[in-house]
Amino acid sequence: MLPLKDIRNGLMVAGWFVFLTFPLMVIKVNPVEKTIVWRWPNMLYVAAGSFIAYLYVKLAQKNKKAAILVACWTAYLALPLIRYFMYQDISILIWDTTTSIYAAVGAFHMILTLCLFHKHHILRKILSGIWLLFIGTPVVMLLAQAAGKILLPKIPAALHFLTPFIITIEHIQFWNWIRILWVALACYLLYSSLQTYLASKRNIMPDHLTNEPKIRWSQYLYKRPVYLPLLTFCSTFFLLFPHLFSTYQVNIMISALMYVVLGLGLNIVVGVAGLLDLGYVAFYAVGAYSYALLNMHFDLGFWVVLPIGGILGAFFGILLGIPVLRLRGDYLAIVTLGFGEIIRLVLENWNDFSQGPSGISNIDRPPLPGVDLSLEGSIVYMYYLTIVMVIFTIFVVNRLQDSRIGRAWFALREDEIACQAMGIDKMKTKLTAFALGATWAGMVGVLFAAKTTFVNPASFTFLESAIILCIVVLGGMGSIVGVIISALVLILMPEYLRAFSDYRMLVFGAVLVIMMVFKPRGLISSVRRTYTINDETL
């Protein structure tokens, strides 16, 4: 199956990875007891992991469908194993009568579909519909069960007769939908594998695979049948988030959402206008400190300072913009980097103004008029504020990009000289990009100060700028959806990788490198808007 060359290369890749990760993964020095522990099994894991990953990538390059199937099977088989090793839970693997019936139906249906799939167009559609039902039923039932468990206590007792999820002690109806879902998935996976195998045997692809023009996967996102349900699902998820998860999770999500706004703001400067800004965190600091100081000295409230923070951010954006107008690329990056550090150093050393490294504490949380919020309540309130902020940002940034000014920014990124020759004022366009980008950082800064109730210069180091820049670059320059996804991934991933605390930065770095190798244009590259013109009217 696999050529010898690939296996040889795979071995070399594995060796290289073992070499690279050796000091981290294998050697463990204990400075207290002055001993060195050699963790040889780790080396084996790294070797095997990188070897298999390499072979998998090779397979994916040759045969996408087979690669997807392999991934599905791996996930399918690995999940029960993980459950077993982590929780000693084997409930998925137990068979009972319902499961057996389900399996039999699945197998029968599979054979039927396989026999007919290349013949009858309409029949095939019906059969795929039944597949959907087959897998959809357990999914829906699982979701309903979960929703019932959460919602049931919140529904008044008088309305209980409306809900089908009442678990009374007398007639308990226990359906193990997870187990059935597992069987359904197995049937479906088996069916897909067999179909692919048969198709390759007959050397004909099923016609729904051949006739369609090749579409990048990211473009599927914008297609209506995918886009609308996905949007509904995401908005419901984010709206219900504080009720489904713990305060700790909500807190993490708030900071991730703040980075979404920061990413979208920097996206205007870097992604759209093409001005590499490494000091973006400075505007964030300006916003945070403006709330902290105005609140401390003048007792101004959150809602008053929010626009002030934005305006101050924009002001500093212009302040930075004016001297760097003539600079491009690397030179611009260096100057903005310096600017970011200047702001931080001023805040750190000008004790009378900013209380230096010890920072400012006891900043007011955003008040909800007429309600005295508990700590938990104010976190939830904060969460919704951030959500509103995110939606507002998406709305404005989207409209800006798709306007006369947005087009001028894009043109500036593409070719500065041609842009000027077409009558665009370079100075003005650059300054608006800097100012509008910085506005968001200023507003998120205010939000940040209100969330943590404490600011000090340590929150605004160059590392923050770098992370925000990472978000924009990984997400795909100029692409709003891409930036949102990458902000969530980049901020949430290190949080959830805390379980692997020793290696989480290693994984983080590896993900960045892999992304840059395989998708250098970002997760979702931006797609230009197309216009439909009614030719008759012209």
Partner 1 sequence: MEPLLNVQKLTMDFGGIRAIDRLDVQVHAGQIVALIGPNGAGKTTFFNCITGIYKPTAGHILLQPPGKKQKRLNGLKPNKVTEQGLARTFQNIRLFPNMTVLENVMIGMHCRTNAKIFGAIFRNPQTRKEEQYIVDHSYSILKKVRLQTFANEYAKNLPYGAQRRLEIARALATDPFMLLLDEPAAGMNPQETLELDNLITQIRDEGLAILLIEHDMKLVMSISDYIFVVDYGKKIAEGTPEEIAQNPAVIKAYLGEDVEHA
User: What is the separation of C-alpha 301 from the centre of its chain, rounded to a whole number of angstroms?
Assistant: 32
Q: Are 478 and 251 in contact (CB under 8 A)?
A: no
Interacting residue with partner 1 among 306, 385, 408, 438 (CB under 8 A): 408
Which of 385, 419, 481, 488 contacts partner 1 by CB under 8 A?
419
Kindly state the smallest distance separating residue 519's Cβ from partner 1, in Å.
Answer: 17
Q: Which residues contact 103 (CB under 8 A, 6 or more apart)?
A: 183, 186, 187
Give 170-175 contacts, CB < 8 A, sequence gap 24+.
175/98, 175/141
The residue ranges of DSSP E strands in 61-182, in sequence order, are none
Contact letters for partner 1, residues 48-67 (x by CB under 8 A):
--------------------
Q: Cα–Cα distance between 221 and 227 in angstroms, integer?
A: 6
User: Given candidates 71, 422, 458, 514, which one binds partner 1 under the rule CB under 8 A?
Assistant: 422
Residue 329: which region, alpha, beta or left (left: phi > 0; alpha: psi -120 to 50)?
Answer: left
Among 420, 493, 495, 504, binds partner 1 (CB under 8 A): 420
Question: Smaller CB distance to partner 1: residue 369 or 423?
Answer: 423
Residue range at the interface with partner 1 (CB under 8 A); choices 175-183, 250-258, 317-325, 411-419: 411-419
Give the nearest distance from C-beta 403 to partner 1 in angstroms: 3
Position 474 contacts partner 1 (CB under 8 A): no
Angle at 119 between CA 115 and CA 123, to 5 degrees: 85
Shortest distance, CB of residue 138 to partner 1, whole angstroms? 43
Report which of 432, 343, 357, 443 is spatially closest to residue 393, judged by C-alpha positions. 443
- Binders of partner 1 among residues 257 to 276 (CB under 8 A) are none
Alpha helices in 165-223 (DSSP H): 177-202, 207-210, 217-220
Among 17, 259, 410, 460, binds partner 1 (CB under 8 A): 410
| For partner 1, the closer CB: 65 or 407 | 407
- Options 125-133, 344-352, 394-402, 480-488: segment touching partner 1 (CB under 8 A): 394-402
Cα-based distances in Å from 301 to 296, 297, 371, 403, 405: 10, 11, 15, 34, 33
Q: Does residue 436 belong to the site contacting partner 1 (CB under 8 A)?
A: yes
Calpha distance 493→508 (Å, rounded): 8
Taking CB under 8 A as the criterion, the residue among 426, 466, 497, 503 binding partner 1 is 426
Contact 382, 254 (CB under 8 A): yes
According to the binding rule CB under 8 A, does residue 391 interact with partner 1?
A: no
The residues that touch partner 1, with contacts defined as CB under 8 A, are: 396, 399-400, 403-408, 410-411, 414-415, 417-426, 432, 436, 528-531, 533, 535, 537-538
